[in-house]
Amino acid sequence: MSDKTHRIIEEIAASVDIPETAYDKAEARYKDLGGWFGRPEAKCVGFAPHIRPQGSFRLGTVVRGEEYDLDFGCRLCKGISKATHTQKQLKALVGADMEDYRKARRIESGLKEKPRCWRLQYQEDDAFKFHMDGVPSIPMDDPQRELLAIAMIKFGSADFLAHSVAKHAGSITDNSLPNYEIISPDWQISNSEGYALWFESRMKLAMPLLEKRAFEAKVAKVDDLPARKWKSPLQKCVQVLKCHRDVMFAENPDGKPISVIITTLAANAYLGEQDIGSAMQNILATMGDFVNRQKPRVPNPVNPAEDFADKWYDPKYAQLNLEKNFNWWLLQAQADFADIGQSRDADFIAEQVRKKFASTIDAPNLRDKLGLGAATVITTPKSHIIVEAPAKPWMRK
C-alpha cells in the first residue's frame, strides 16, 4: 500500500482505539479483584489464587464499543486437582469469592453464570461500560504440558517458545460437559496467557520498532512495557479489522467472524512489517491462506488440536453460515481498503471511514496531511467494489 494509504489506516487505527484511561481502569479492576482473592478470609486464599487478564485487553487489541468485555483467568495454583475436585466444585469456590466481592463493591447486577465463567456486570459512567468474565482454572499436569509443547513444535513453533508457552496451560471448568459434576481427568484445556505470549512473539518480528517504543517509554527492554503500549502494526491491524467486522455485521452479530479467528490469522500472516500500511496489505492478501481445508480449519497456535473454527462445520450453527460470512467479510475488507487507497478525495475517504468503521476522521485535516488538494473523485475499474452478500434467509431482519 502507498504511504497515503498507510497514513489513512493510521488515522483509522487511532480513531478506533480506546483511551489509555480505559486500560488503566481495567487494570485497576484486575488488581482490585486479585487483592480480594488474596485476603486472609477469602475462600480461595488457601489454594494460591492468581488473577491474570486475558483476551483483547491482554493483547492490546480492544476497539471502541458500547460495552467492553474484560476477561480474566482465576487460577488456583495448589491444593486442587482433577482427582480431588469436580469442575462444579472448583467453579463454585471461585464463584463464592466473586459473589462476596460483588456485594462488597456494591455491584447491583447479580453474578451471572456462563458455561465457562462467572460474569460481573458493572454499572459505571457512560464512557466505559463493561463486564468482567472470570474463568476458573487449575494448572495442567506436567505430562500434558509436555504433549502440548511437542504438538506446537510439530505445528512449526520454535522449541523454546513451545515450552515457555505450554507451561502456562491450564484446565478450565465448563458446565456444558457431561463430566462437569463428577471426578474426571478430562477437562477442557485453556492457555490464554500462552496465546498472549505467542501473539507477542509475532509482534516481535518488528523488534526495531518495539525497541523504539521501549526507549520512548524509558524502560530497559520491550518486555518491561505492557503489550498494549507496544502499538505494533499487528495490533493496529487487528483493531482496524475487528472494527470493520463489527460494522459490517452490526445487524447480524451472531454470524460475524469471531475475534480470535481474525487475530490468529492476522498474526500468522504478519511478517514483521514496520508500518501499518504494508502490514495491512500483506495480512489482507494472505490471511485466508492460513485457513486449512481439513480440520482443524483454524488451529489454536498454542493447542493445535483445538479448532477456533469448529462452529463452521457444527450442524448446530449451520443456519449462521459462518464460513461463508468469514469469506464474505475478507473479500469486502480487501475491496474497501483498495477503494480507500485508490481515492484522492479526502471527503470520500472520510465518508467511507464513517460508513465502514463507524469512526470519524477530519477530511480537511486529512487533505492537508496527505496533500490531496481540492476534493476530486478518481474512479478506476476496481474502485467502489461492493461484494455481494450471501443469500438473505440467514440474515436478521
Write out pLDDT tens, residues 74-86.
999 999 999 999 9
In the predicted model, is pLDDT for residue 216 greater than 50? Answer: yes
Confidence band of 1 (pLDDT split at 50, 70, 90)? low
Instruction: Please state the rounded mean pLDDT for residues 391-397.
Output: 34
* Residue 165, phi then psi, degrees to nearest 5: -75, -45
> Residue 301: what pLDDT?
96
- 294-333 in b/e form (b: 16+ CB < 10 A) is eeebbbbbbbbebbbbeebeeeeeeebbbeebbbbbbebb
For 292, phi then psi, to 5°, come to -75, 150
Residue 23 reports pLDDT greater than 90: no
Is 60 exceeded by the pLDDT of residue 7? yes
d(C-alpha 382, C-alpha 112), whole Å: 49
Residue 382 has pLDDT above 90, yes or no: no
Task: List own/partner pairs for 161-167 with CB under 8 A and 24 or more apart.
Answer: 161/197, 161/198, 161/201, 164/197, 165/191, 165/194, 165/197, 165/198, 165/302, 166/191, 166/194, 166/302, 167/194
List, for residues 251-264, the tens digit of each pLDDT value. 999 999 999 999 99
Q: Place 91 in a pLDDT band, splitting at 50, 70 and 90.
A: very high
Q: 3-class SS at 393?
A: helix
Angle among Cα 229, 234, 238 to the nearest 5 degrees reads 100
Rounded Cα–Cα distance for residues 97 and 34 (Å) = 11
What mean pLDDT do residues 27-52 have?
Answer: 94
- Please tell me which residue, 276 or 394, carries the higher pLDDT value: 276
pLDDT class for 152, splitting at 50, 70, 90?
A: very high
Instruction: Specify the DSSP element, H or E, that contains 13.
Output: helix 3-16
CB of 261 closer than 8 Å to CB of 56: no
Overall average pLDDT of the 117-143 stretch: 85
CA 249-255-257 angle, to 5 degrees, is: 80
Q: How far does CA 286 lie from the centroid of its chain? A: 19
Radius of gyration of the chain, Cα coordinates, nearest whole angstrom: 22
Q: What per-residue confidence (pLDDT) applies to 391? A: 38
The Cα 230–Cα 235 span in angstroms is 8
Would the pLDDT of 393 be above 80?
no
CA 343 from chain center: how many Å?
Answer: 31
227 pLDDT band (50/70/90 cuts)? confident
Give the pLDDT of residue 125. Answer: 58
Residue bearing the bigger pLDDT, 358 or 186:
186
Q: What is the pLDDT of residue 386?
A: 43
Check residue 275 and report its DSSP letter: S
Q: What percent of the chain has pLDDT over 70?
A: 91
319 φ, ψ (degrees, to nearest 5): -65, -15
Mean pLDDT over 96-125 rounds to: 91
Spell out where the chain has E strands. Answer: 49-54, 68-76, 112-113, 118-121, 130-139, 170-172, 188-190, 299-300, 303-307
φ/ψ of 70, rounded to 5, equals: -100, 95
Q: Between 289 and 397, where is the model more confident?
A: 289
CA distance 154 to 266: 21
Q: Is the pLDDT of residue 342 over 70?
A: yes
In the predicted model, what is the mean pLDDT of residues 238-257? 96
Rounded Cα gap, residues 148 and 255, in angstroms: 31
Name the DSSP class of 118.
E
C-alpha cell at 351: 465518508
Helix, strand, or coil here: 117? Answer: coil
Predicted pLDDT of residue 2: 65
What are the backbone angles phi and psi of residue 204, rounded to the nearest 5°? -70, -5
For 50-59, how does the pLDDT look when each residue is reduced to its tens digit (9 = 90+)? 999 999 999 9
Q: What is the pLDDT of residue 373?
A: 52
Closest CA to 284 of 62, 61, 3, 5: 5
Cell of 64: 471502541
pLDDT for the residue numbered 19 = 85
Q: Is the pLDDT of residue 370 over 80?
A: no
Q: CB-side exposure of 373: number of CA atoms within 13 Å?
A: 5
- pLDDT, position 127: 62
